[in-house]
Amino acid sequence: MEKPPVGGLGFSVIGGERGIFVKSITPGGTADTAGTLQVGDRLLKVNEDLMIGVSHSKAVTTIRKAKGLVHLIVSRPPDQMPNTYLGFLPLKSNGVNGNN
């Protein structure tokens, strides 16, 4: 996402050495407008900097120092993933698995 010349990326983080997680997303901010981050996402990398095993203050400093186009790599628990394949599931059983 593109970091504005003034201000931040519009999200806050929580955590520390056991993981850095998105705590909140500012409505109307850069992260909100991009629509790719979700509360609960775990930050794995900010540009080339690993966020695994770092302190909260190190993570915040890294995010604040980032300029221009900022590449975030995150992980998201499967239960928070949008179910994009729902439309492809059969509406009724064909009887193959015994469910009619």
- For residue 45, the cross-strand partners are 50, 73
> Can you give the pLDDT at residue 77?
78
- Written as one letter, the residue type at 62 is T
- For residues 31 and 25, is the Cβ–Cβ distance under 8 A? yes
> Can you give the pLDDT at residue 81?
61
Residue-wise pLDDT for 47-85, tens only, equals 999 999 999 999 999 999 999 999 999 999 777 665 544
- For residues 76 and 38, is the Cβ–Cβ distance under 8 A? yes
Q: Please state, as a whole number, how many other Cβ atoms lie within 10 Å of the Cβ of residue 53.
A: 11
pTM: 0.75
> Can you give the pLDDT at residue 78?
75
